[in-house]
Amino acid sequence: MSSRWSRLGLLLALGFLILAPLEFKRYGLYILSQWAVMTIAAMGLNLTLGYAGQVSLAQGAFVGIGAYCAAILTTNGWPLAAAIVLALALGFAIGWLLGYPALRVQHHYLAFVTLAFSTLAFLVFRNEAWLTNGTDGIDGVPRPSVFGLSLKPHLYYYYFCLFVLACVTLAMLGLVRSPWGRAFVALRENPMRALSLGVDTRRYTLMAFALGSALGALSGALYAPLVGLVEPPAFTLTLSLNLLMMVIVGGSGYFLGPFLGALIAVLLPEWLRFLESYYLILYSLLVMGLLIYSPTGLIGIVDRHIVRRRTRAASAARASLSASIEAP
Please say which residue, 19 or 323, places its beta carbon nearer to another protein.
323
Question: Rounded to whole angstroms, how far apart are CA atoms 237 and 194?
Answer: 33
Coil vs helix vs strand at 230 = strand
Nearest distance from C-beta of residue 308 to another protein, angstroms: 12
Nearest distance from C-beta of residue 290 to another protein, angstroms: 22
Inter-residue long-range contacts of 284-293, CB under 8 Å, 24+ positions, other chains counted: 287/245, 287/249, 290/249, 291/248, 291/249
Nearest distance from C-beta of residue 302 to another protein, angstroms: 15
Nearest distance from C-beta of residue 210 to another protein, angstroms: 12
State the residues that interact with another protein by CB under 8 A. 175, 177-180, 182-183, 185-186, 189-190, 192-201, 203, 207, 307, 310-311, 314-315, 317-318, 320-322, 325-326
With residue 253 as reference, give the H or E element that holds it: none
Nearest distance from C-beta of residue 102 to another protein, angstroms: 19
Please say which residue, 1 or 325, places its beta carbon nearer to another protein.
325
Please say which residue, 19 or 325, places its beta carbon nearer to another protein.
325
Question: Rounded to whole angstroms, how far apart are CA atoms 155 and 18?
Answer: 10
Please say which residue, 277 or 324, places its beta carbon nearer to another protein.
324
CB 83 within 8 A of CB 26: no
Nearest to 86 by CA among 104, 100, 74, 103: 74
Please say which residue, 185 or 229, places its beta carbon nearer to another protein.
185
Vertex 304: Cα angle to 302 and 306 (nearest 5): 70
137 to 64, 177, 238: CA distances (angstroms): 12, 40, 18
